Amino acid sequence: MKRTMPKAIYFDAAGTLIRLTKPVGEHYALVAARQGLALEASQLTRAFREIWREMPQRPATGQPREDDDKGWWRDLVERLLARVSPGIDPLDRDTFFEAAYGHFAEAGVWELYPEVEEVLPQLAARFELSVISNFDGRLRMVLEHLGISKFFRHIFLSSELGADKPDPFIFHRALEVSRLQPANVLHVGDDPERDWAAATAAGLEIFKLQRPENSLRELLPRLRVAANG
């Protein structure tokens, strides 16, 4: 079946456009070291991945969530510390959380995937681009640090729309704000459930990003964008 050329493209953020410069546990271990705490990076990485999967899915509210989801992250970090170092003093846990929360918005913590700087300008010349992410307001600082925020008309955040992928509601709200129909939007992401299934359920066409098998460069021939822009 012939594809309809989209008017706009939505991009997932982490895992699609950006990635951490080091494994997540190394970042937490660095923050801990600054607080005088010795935590093992590989243990932190394993525990973080386990807890991330265990965190309960929040129901869609359609309203900006309290405190830009900072309370949700506090709960995650509390669980993380309880799993890897349960004896840490409550005051030290609070200090650690505040430092970690700020750390993940700092320059140098995130980096672009190699092809992003090549692909985004070419797409931005032809399509309306937006980000739709299960992130909070810190993502705007991250994208600004990395020099790509200028390419996006909208940055849709789960903390502000009151819904998380894979709930299709987040896509419905983004479409409403964009004043676009589902058939006019292509969603690009790397997660089978949160991106592919959720966007499909909302009526959007999808591009399945599966590194290293493909990359964002494959969007150019699919959308008939010339290599020279």
SS3 of 206, please?
strand
CATH architecture of the domain covering 8-19+110-222: 3-Layer(aba) Sandwich (3.40)
| Nearest-10 crossing angle of helices 24-34, 41-54 | 120
Q: Residue 3: what pLDDT?
A: 61
- Separation CA 214–CA 209 (nearest Å): 6
- Separation CA 47–CA 51 (nearest Å): 6
What percent of the chain lies above the pLDDT cut of 70? 97
Q: Residue 221 pLDDT > 80, yes or no?
A: yes
User: pTM for this structure?
Assistant: 0.92
Of 109-118, 120-129, 205-214, 218-227, which gets the smallest average pLDDT?
A: 218-227
- The ranges assigned to domains in the chain are 8-19+110-222, 22-103
Q: What is the pLDDT of residues 77-121, one digit of tens each?
A: 999 999 999 999 888 999 999 999 999 999 999 999 999 999 999
Q: Residue 229 pLDDT > 60, yes or no?
A: no
Of 23-32, 62-71, 114-123, 194-203, which gets the smallest average pLDDT?
A: 62-71
Superfamily of domain 22-103: Haloacid dehalogenase-like hydrolase (1.10.150.720)
Confirm if 188 and 16 have CB atoms less than 8 A apart: yes
Q: What is the pLDDT of residues 211-220, one digit of tens each?
A: 999 999 999 9
Of 169, 172, 211, nearest to 188 by C-alpha is: 211
Of 49-58, 73-82, 201-210, which gets the smallest average pLDDT?
A: 49-58
- Separation CA 68–CA 18 (nearest Å): 21
Q: Residue 136: what pLDDT?
A: 95
